């Protein structure tokens, strides 16, 4: 099993956050990009650990989803809240980020 280059993966996740921001919150795209990328930076250590655990089989795809759902940093979305975006739209963006993260990581790990 080949080890994943986490720096490349993290760059893919940051690009993915921009795509999710564009696709889900066009009117708040700038704030969404800012919040999405900041959330990724804040959970980078956890993402690296969870990716390794997924790669070794210590956790499953479902475990990864659960860990991300519980990740407090993904609930902050400060710029979006300051812009006055409704909570339902913030949740939609957050769920899009989680799906993108899980899809990207599991696509590389081949879970």
Q: Answer whether residue 1 is part of any domain.
A: no
pTM: 0.89
Q: Answer whether residue 96 is part of any domain.
A: yes
Task: Express each pLDDT in 47-98 by its tens digit.
Answer: 999 999 999 999 999 999 999 999 998 989 999 999 999 999 999 999 999 9
What lies within 8 Å, CB to CB, of 1 at 6+ separation is 55
Q: Identify the pLDDT of residue 3.
A: 80
Identify the domain containing residue 72 by its residue range: 6-109
Task: Express each pLDDT in 7-49 by its tens digit.
Answer: 999 999 999 999 999 999 989 999 999 999 999 999 999 999 9
Q: Identify the pLDDT of residue 32.
A: 95
| DSSP at 2 | P
Q: Per the structure, how many domains does the chain have?
A: 1
Q: Identify the pLDDT of residue 109.
A: 86
Q: Which residue has the tokens 């490349």?
A: 8
């Amino acid at each position: 099993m080949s080890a994943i280059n986490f720096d490349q993966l993290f760059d893919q996740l940051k690009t993915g956050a921009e795509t999710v921001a564009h696709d889900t919150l066009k009117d708040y795209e700038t704030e969404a990009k800012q919040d999405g990328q900041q959330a990724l930076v804040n959970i980078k250590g956890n993402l690296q650990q969870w990716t390794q655990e997924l790669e070794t089989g210590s956790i499953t795809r479902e475990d990864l989803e659960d860990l991300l759902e519980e990740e407090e940093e993904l609930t902050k979305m400060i710029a979006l809240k300051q812009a006055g975006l409704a909570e339902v739209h913030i949740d939609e963006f957050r769920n899009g980020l989680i799906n993108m993260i899980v899809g990207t990581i599991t696509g590389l790990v081949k879970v």
